[in-house]
Amino acid sequence: MNDNTQPDNTPSAPAAQQPPTAATKPVVILGIESSCDDTSAAVISDGVLLSNVTASQAVHEAYGGVVPELASRAHQQNIVPVVDQALCRAGVSRADLSAIAFTRGPGLLGSLLVGVSFAKGMAAALGIPMVDVNHLQGHVLAHFIREPGVEAHHPPFPFLCLLVSGGNSQIVLVRAYNDMQIIGQTIDDAAGEAIDKCSKVMGLGYPGGPIIDRLARQGNPDAFHFARPAIPGFDYSFSGLKTSFLYSLREWLQTDPDFIAHHKADLAASLEATVVDILMNKLRRAAKSLDIKHVAVAGGVSANTGLRQAFLDHARRFGWTVYIPKFGFTTDNAAMIAITGHYKYLDGDFCPMDAPAFSRVAL
Ligand code: KG4
């Protein structure tokens, strides 16, 4: 490993206009992710993951949600050591890099700007191209990360991907690495957002998803019933469920002020079961209507035990082949940005130096 390689400062064409080298050198991509509250860097060589380093930000726990200004400050502190660690663990020097892939959006603008500016500075200093990555595309392509010594289980095209996170709930038709179409999405709250808010109402910690998941394992999923949306097509809605949860709780608390403490696990299990049921219902309809049996799940909520189990049940009941990411690739990580960068690099799909970050951008 040589982690002390100095940047090549020889004058060169603007980074974004440089073509990929057709030589036999491996394609080595440094991925950088900073869209929310995780600062992450990863190195992928010829599609194989060499390192994936993430610094999470505990500072937000005290506020019950991500505070954008604190997030961008923490990214600034973390970005240099995280990138350094990723290169070091990969045994790759800066001179070995073919390109730098970075999350351009969607996300918190202040957070994105740290990663985007860092990627631009580093690419300019090294004279290598930059590849801009849509964070949501990254979540979907996490299914194509190859790890040394791990047998590959990649979905064939076309497949459906349920993309569920704190900010998104979408059904994506994936035709190719760079050809994706959203066929259904939430018209209001995302699934993760609804779970987090209900957890907050119960006075549990942040983020609520993993806490609800843990509690749900000890509870009865049929104990309580909450509103389910009646939305046409393959779209989702979770705001009604959130309201129904809040109003039901208020009513029950009137008769028993310790209702939450007495029924914590049952509330969590019933909430989780409702969210999973809503998600799987539309996914099942979409899969049937498009006659697709290869179905994947991605995003932070795909870490949920109940949702993972529902995928396995659907595989058995409906003959689906299902693709469930490893836990480390469910929440925000740079490995998914690097693998997306890898495929865009092979397509020669680079971005110019003046590319701005986007807080909102479609898939
Ligand atoms: O993809 P992600 O890390 O960030 C973005 O929103 O982009 O997703 C975060 C979401 C949060 O809402 C969090 O509560 C949820 O994923 N989450 C879970 C679990 N782990 C994380 N939700 C349910 N069960 C889990 N085990």
In the prediction, which pLDDT does 23 show? 54
In the prediction, which pLDDT does 106 show? 95
Site to substitute for ligand 1 among 196, 213, 331, most atoms within 8 A of C-beta: 331
In CATH terms, the fold of domain 2-153+329-346 is Nucleotidyltransferase; domain 5 (3.30.420)
In the prediction, which pLDDT does 2 show? 30
How far apart CA 338 and CA 50 sit, in angstroms, is 11
How far, in Å, from the CA of 24 to the mean position of ligand 1? 40
Summarize pLDDT for 31-90 with one digit per residue, the tens.
999 999 999 999 999 999 999 999 998 888 888 788 999 999 999 999 999 999 999 999
Summarize pLDDT for 176-198 with one digit per residue, the tens.
999 999 999 999 999 999 999 99
Ligand 1 within 6 A of CB of 166: yes
* CATH tag, 159-327: 3.30.420.40
The domain segmentation of the chain, as residue ranges, is 2-153+329-346, 159-327
Ligand 1 within 6 A of CB of 332: yes
Q: Give the residue from 340, 344, 299 showing the smallest Cα distance to 323.
A: 299
For residue 11, name the pLDDT band (cuts at 50, 70, 90): very low
Ligand 1 within 6 A of CB of 306: no
In the prediction, which pLDDT does 167 show? 87
In the prediction, which pLDDT does 362 show? 78
Site to substitute for ligand 1 among 54, 103, 168, 195, most atoms within 8 A of C-beta: 195
Q: 2-153+329-346 and 159-327: same fold?
A: yes
Ligand 1 within 6 A of CB of 207: yes
Ligand 1 within 6 A of CB of 38: no
Ligand 1 within 6 A of CB of 301: yes
Closest residue to atom 14 of ligand 1, CA basis: 209
How far, in Å, from the CA of 147 to the mean position of ligand 1? 23
Closest residue to atom 8 of ligand 1, CA basis: 300
How far, in Å, from the CA of 36 to the mean position of ligand 1? 12
15 has pLDDT over 50: no
How far apart CA 187 and CA 169 sit, in angstroms, is 9
Residue 15, H or E segment: none
Handedness of CA 108, 111, 112, 117 (dihedral sign): positive
Summarize pLDDT for 290-345 with one digit per residue, the tens.
999 999 999 999 999 999 999 999 999 999 999 999 999 999 999 999 999 999 99
14 has pLDDT over 80: no
Closest residue to atom 22 of ligand 1, CA basis: 209
Backbone angles phi, psi at 180, to 5 degrees: -130, 145
How far apart CA 145 and CA 160 sit, in angstroms, is 17
Summarize pLDDT for 113-163 with one digit per residue, the tens.
999 999 999 999 999 999 999 999 999 999 999 999 999 899 999 999 999
Could you tell me which residues come within 8 angstroms of residue 41 by beta carbon, excluding any fewer than 6 positions away? 30, 31, 32, 33, 51, 52, 53, 79, 82, 83, 85, 86, 87, 334
Report which ligand 1 atom has the smallest distance to the Cα of 303: 26
Ligand 1 within 6 A of CB of 229: no
In the prediction, which pLDDT does 5 show? 29
* Residue 145 structure tokens: 């990360």
Ligand 1 within 6 A of CB of 138: no
Average pLDDT estimate for 223-239: 95
Ligand 1 within 6 A of CB of 167: yes
In the prediction, which pLDDT does 363 show? 79
